[in-house]
Amino acid sequence: MKRRIARRPSEVAAQTGDVPETPGQFVQIDVKPEDIGAELLPILSRGLYTDPFHAIREYVQNAVDSGAALVRIKLTGNSIVIRDDGEGMSWSDLVKARRFGVSDKDLKENVGFRGIGIYSGYDLCDRLFITTFRAGDTMQSVLEFNFAAMKKRLEADKKKGLGTPLHELLKNHTRFKIEPSLTRTPGTTVELEEVSDYHIRSLRDSDALRKYILRNLPVDFDPQFEHREAIKKYLKEHVPGYKAVRIIVEIKEGESIQVVRPAIPNLSSPETRLIRAPGTGATIAVIWSSLHKKRSRIPDEYEDYRGFVYRTKGFTVGDNRRMQPFFKHGGSTLHAWYTGEVYVVDEKVIPNTERDDFEANAAYDVLRSQIKLTMEELDNQGLKFQSQQRAVTKLKECQRKLEGIEKKVQDRIGDPALMFSELEDIISELKQHRAKFPEEFKDQGKAAEKLANDLRTIVHKIITDGQRAKRESTSSSTSTSSTSTSSGEGQQDSEREPSRPTISSIVEEAGIQVSKPIARVFELIEEVMASVLRPGTREYSAVLEGIQSAIEEEFSAGE
């Protein structure tokens, strides 16, 4: 529908050069096509597309907007060919595609909307060909931009001091035609022909291009990624116009790289959530997140996927460090345990031109505050997960130790006193982590504790039986006067309490290395504690347990 601009009564149309008859009255003067200079083309093209990758992005974006699922980017000789399997364009669509700064694309559904992207190759190549076929058409349509001729004309006119009208430049140096289609396969082929050597050199860096694509285009997940379907299904349901493409890059000779979000192994089932604006309840962002199940950050080879990124219509805004400060525990390290995306669906939140942040406005403030809350929640979840996983590791360790002790008891081998001490430690560990076991491990925890207690009873009995037997044999074989000392010593040995934790042992267990002076400081603290609280008392144990928890809390989040 054409927009009508209402003319104010005081404004009167006038011809260029006619001086208004009435002073003080504004007049409108027609803008003729020749009033818009063709220099606008290089200015905009060079200004907006400073990197050759930007041009590639623009053409792939068009492919995405046309519903493509697969895009191939190929470099052969000094040509770049971008082929998509989208729905293609009709003749009239293609004619419209030539328009400059005019686009019919729906802002909600499509990535591109400025209507300039097609000219992004202007500075890169001499010619641009677009060959397209749409289902139901009988012929394919072809559009050729002769950028070399445009540049030549602009240069020549400039030298002559003439201005070149934009419409004339576009009309004279673009051509259309229809031709039979060989396969009648819907889709579009864009070819940038005679790309300059300078740009070809930068474009040959396939690794840089891959990274660029991953950051700037809505790239699909690797088909091997176990959560691919679940995440895509959720995003399709909740992110308007969600699209994802597989991109194959054939830039280096003999190399065919499939650009997909990689299949990161050992990820938990994705958690999804909708972020709503307080008050209106409208969805402003859609999130998916997965935790690395290995209780560590996402492995180095997937470093680019650690943490969260903002996405709007498939673009990454900023990098994967933007939401890191919202993770407080362990120096923000839990952020790297996650991988996920935040799809911004609030249209009022607009990426800035550099796409490294959003434009500052109230909508962005709301988004940021809600995201902060969500990320803090995820941080706490991560922390809980971490302590749960640590507890599970401890449980497994205890179970292994118990197995060993049980076997020794059955085989009647090993030092009962040592086993008793180990069992005491195990029971203490299990008690300490009992509350942190995830639901599915609670029964195992209980069973382990029961086994440890049972074994302790058995071992205790072995010890006391042994002592009794020893006493009896000693009393029968030696004189009463000479046995008292040794018997007393023996009792002391076998009934010696299991070693208690010390500050040094707690610190050591936490994997912290301490220097000699600090170790000495710990000893002094323990001496003072012993003189005040006395070892073995509940108070003494409580202080030590407190120290242990504090150290674990402080130093383990960053594992």
Partner 1 sequence: MSGTANGDFEGGPEKAYVRKHWDLPVIHGLSARKGRRLRYFGMPGPAIEDIRDWSDEIEYVTAIELLRPGQEEDHDRERLRRLKHSLSERGIQYQVLRGYVEDVILKAHDIDGQQPRYRNHGDPTGILRFCYDVVNLDFYGGAGYKSKTVLGQPKRLAAIKELFRRQRGTEFVFLLTLNVRTTIDKAVSAHLNQWRARIGDTLQPAIDWYVSRSAGKVKYRLKAAMLAFVQRMAEDEGFRVYCYPPVAYIGNANATMVHFLFACEPTSDAFHSVSVQSPDDLVRLPLLTCSENAITPEIEQHTGFDWMHCHHALANAPHCVGKSLQAFIEQRFGITP
Site of interaction with partner 1 (CB under 8 A): 72, 74, 76-79, 81, 83, 127, 129, 131, 142, 179-180, 182-183, 185, 187, 189, 191, 193, 250, 253-254, 256
Q: Which of 288, 290, 285, 273 lies closest to 343 in space, CA to CA?
A: 285
Closest CB to partner 1 among 183 and 353?
Answer: 183
User: What is the nearest approach in angstroms of partner 1 to the Cβ of residue 129?
Assistant: 5
Q: Which residues contact 484 (CB under 8 A, 6 or more apart)?
A: none
Round to whole Å and give the CA distance between 268 and 340.
11
User: What is the nearest approach in angstroms of partner 1 to the Cβ of residue 202?
Assistant: 17
Closest CB to partner 1 among 131 and 387?
Answer: 131
Q: Which of 297, 317, 333, 296 lies closest to 371 in space, CA to CA?
A: 317
Round to whole Å and give the CA distance between 65 and 262.
23
Round to whole Å and give the CA distance between 81 and 75.
6
Closest CB to partner 1 among 69 and 463?
Answer: 69
For residue 545 the two structure tokens come to: 């347990």
User: What is the nearest approach in angstroms of partner 1 to the Cβ of residue 435?
Assistant: 57
User: What is the nearest approach in angstroms of partner 1 to the Cβ of residue 199?
Assistant: 14
Closest CB to partner 1 among 23 and 77?
Answer: 77
User: What is the nearest approach in angstroms of partner 1 to the Cβ of residue 76?
Assistant: 5
For residue 519 the two structure tokens come to: 């170790």
For residue 107, how many other CB atoms are within 10 A of its CB?
A: 12
Q: Which residues contact 458 (CB under 8 A, 6 or more apart)?
A: 409
Radius of gyration over every alpha carbon of the chain, rounded to an integer in angstroms? 37
Q: Is 9 helix (H, G, I), strand (E, B) or coil?
A: coil
User: What is the nearest approach in angstroms of partner 1 to the Cβ of residue 166?
Assistant: 25
Closest CB to partner 1 among 178 and 512?
Answer: 178
Closest CB to partner 1 among 78 and 90?
Answer: 78
Closest CB to partner 1 among 127 and 329?
Answer: 127
For residue 556 the two structure tokens come to: 């383990």
Closest CB to partner 1 among 76 and 457?
Answer: 76
User: What is the nearest approach in angstroms of partner 1 to the Cβ of residue 228?
Assistant: 22
Closest CB to partner 1 among 198 and 489?
Answer: 198
For residue 353 the two structure tokens come to: 């031109």
Q: Is 194 helix (H, G, I), strand (E, B) or coil?
A: strand
Pair 258, 218: CB distance under 8 Å = no
Please write down the long-range contacts of 105-109, taking CB distance under 8 Å and 24 or more positions apart.
Answer: 105/65, 107/347, 108/240, 108/241, 108/347, 109/65, 109/240, 109/241
Closest CB to partner 1 among 103 and 189?
Answer: 189
Please measure the distance between the N-terminal and C-terminal CA atoms of the chain and give it in whole angstroms.
Answer: 60
Sign of CA dihedral 12, 16, 17, 18: negative
User: What is the nearest approach in angstroms of partner 1 to the Cβ of residue 209?
Assistant: 18
Pair 100, 119: CB distance under 8 Å = yes
Beta-bridge mates of residue 286? 274, 343
Closest CB to partner 1 among 83 and 215?
Answer: 83
User: What is the nearest approach in angstroms of partner 1 to the Cβ of residue 385?
Assistant: 43
Closest CB to partner 1 among 147 and 420?
Answer: 147
Using the CB atoms, write b or e for 194-209: b if 16+ within 10 Å. Answer: ebeeebbeebeebeeb
User: What is the nearest approach in angstroms of partner 1 to the Cβ of residue 189?
Assistant: 4
User: What is the nearest approach in angstroms of partner 1 to the Cβ of residue 15?
Assistant: 42
Closest CB to partner 1 among 189 and 289?
Answer: 189
Closest CB to partner 1 among 185 and 457?
Answer: 185
Pair 132, 187: CB distance under 8 Å = yes
Using the CB atoms, write b or e for 20-38: b if 16+ within 10 Å. Answer: eeeeeeeeeeeeeeeeeeb
Round to whole Å and give the CA distance between 539 and 535.
9
User: What is the nearest approach in angstroms of partner 1 to the Cβ of residue 259?
Assistant: 16
Beta-strand relationship, 307-312 and 338-344: parallel
User: What is the nearest approach in angstroms of partner 1 to the Cβ of residue 72?
Assistant: 7
Q: What Cα–Cα distance (Å) separates residue 72 from each residue in 8, 82, 130?
A: 52, 6, 15
User: What is the nearest approach in angstroms of partner 1 to the Cβ of residue 84?
Assistant: 10
